[in-house]
Amino acid sequence: MNRLTASLPAVSVVLAISLFALILFSAHPLTAQTFACPTGTVDVMKYFALSAQKRPSQFMSGSPNPIYTEVAPNQDFASGGYWFWLKSPTAHGFDVKAFNKSYVYMRSTELNWTDNTSFKRFVYDLPIAARCVPSGKPGPAIKVANTTFKYYQSCVAYKSSTLGTSVNTLDAPVLMNAGGNIGQVWTRVLHYHYDCNSSYQSCADEEQFYLGNGYGLWQWKHLKNGVLSGSALMNKLTSGTAGGALPCTNSYQ
């Protein structure tokens, strides 16, 4: 018997299996691999972002603005990516944060609340928390010397500035009463200090981010020289999604 002819059925089977695998993976595209922190530590992303179970149909409403959370990749949580805190359903008013295996970072924020082509973006993403922190304990203090950022209008940078030095700490989790319709929630408070001197002391500004496990940001406070100068409370889990999108890819990518 001709060996080439005898081998044809086997080749056909292999081709059929390969074709089936191609169809299978085309129908179910691969997603980014989920990240896992070492034993004895927790992934702080579960405090920073509304959970994947809630994000598709819910947001945090409150005053003076809501928070709509969008994460890329859209899962809990990949080894790296970024997310939006949109402060209106039309995406006017926003913060962009980023994350990798080592840290969580600040990337950009709105400049003009009525024009989301205007924003401020750090030249280098500013680390605000370690990605993995000891379970039940605070995260390490993070000192940042270079806080240079740029101003953008119509998606184009037009000047730069700096925030002095920065010192950032993340508290141990505390069971807090957030009020609204979420009530008691395990919360870590991020303390973002900036406009500090060269010794990382005498910081003129502090922003406090109250981060609920599975809920993300539910309260924010801004202290100027130790005096409260601004606040927001987003403690009602509400049905709805944001219809707007950020028009400038350089505000988030």
- SS3 string of 75-104? CCCECCEEEEEECCCCCCCEEEEEECCCEE
Question: What is the fold, at CATH topology level, of the domain defined by 41-242?
Answer: YmcC-like fold (2.40.360)
Cα 104 from Cα 172, distance rounded (Å):
16
Token pair in block for residue 7: 């081998």
Beta-bridged to residue 116, according to DSSP, are none
Percent of the chain with pLDDT over 70: 87
Write down the pLDDT at residue 8: 31
Closest among 94, 113, 89 to 241, alpha carbons compared: 89
Residue 24, pLDDT score:
33
Report the percent of the chain where pLDDT is more than 90: 87
Helices in the chain by DSSP H: which ranges? 3-27, 45-48
pLDDT tens-digit profile of 20-33?
A: 333 333 333 334 67
User: What is the per-residue pLDDT across 105-124, written as a single tens digit (0 to 9) for each?
Assistant: 999 999 999 999 999 999 99
199 has pLDDT over 70: yes
Reported confidence tier of residue 34, pLDDT bands at 50, 70, 90: confident
pTM over 0.75: yes
